[in-house]
Chain A
């Protein structure tokens, strides 16, 4: 088991291996991504009954919650990739972190904007400076900061390092976001999904939400694959295998 994991880790560090295997994996991720997102959206928009308090505005949950969850997990994954780069100098990890940053930022933006639009009919305001909203806005700025650093320095190596360090420091914000609704008085409702106890949501509303969450995570995987593949082609452009690959595409 351990040996197998070690082997996988070493392979993951090989850009060529990743480039070839991800081409095979991509369709297996794309098809369920489209399927889950379509089924979840149609189910959540047209079949799920309206909320007895919030009416139909509650249907925003099917993008707001998956986007917010994903924005936080993506951040954690980016920080882990950054740590792998810092500790073991694995270049692939730095490229993955660079791929995750803009994707995570866009889902963080999506969580904030859908939250604001949902807030208007529900709370009567687009925005309040409460703990959950503010810490989520901070997450967006952390993403921007990491993205800026990843492109900032003269050498790619030190830029990747700086980005990785900031992403690790910013990791403190993740538990703050999670517990913000419990530690402080806030307008934001407490978590609907709970892993340890029963969720506070009716089944007919919960199932499409879980489908959408799966769809968002699958989409994230697809997007990270696509961007990391570009990173590999760019950074390895002077290597023979990439040259041959380009040549074979040009001959077609």
Chain B
């Protein structure tokens, strides 16, 4: 690919090693990925729970009314 020549690292192993700083760099990016994931998943689950709860409640109310 044409972007190859702009890559900073010579090999994938080099990329993973990040000089001597692989541990620090990948730890940071890993934690960030987890924090972002948690932030996205939390409101989706909350929304699902809320809708399930409310529809169940509404169904019960309807049944009681009839």
Contact = CB atoms under 8 A, between A and B. Distances in A.
A45 B29 contact: yes
Contacts of A181: none
B28 A117 contact: yes
Interface residues of A, number: 42
A63 interface: yes
Contacts of B46: 227, 230
Contacts of A243: 58
Contacts of A57: 18-19, 21, 24-25
Interface in A46-95: 46-50, 55-57, 59-60, 63-64, 67
By secondary structure, the B interface counts as helix
Contacts of B43: 223, 226-227, 229-230
A90 to B, nearest CB: 22
Interface of A: 41, 45-50, 55-57, 59-60, 63-64, 67, 102-103, 106-107, 109-110, 113-114, 117-118, 120-121, 219, 223, 226-227, 229-230, 233-234, 237, 242-243, 246-247, 249-250
Interface of B: 3, 6-9, 15, 18-22, 24-25, 27-29, 31-32, 35-36, 38-40, 42-44, 46-47, 50-51, 54-55, 58-59
Given A56-B21, A233-B47, A249-B51, 8 more contacts: A47-B7, A55-B19, A56-B22, A57-B25, A102-B42, A103-B39, A113-B31, A223-B40
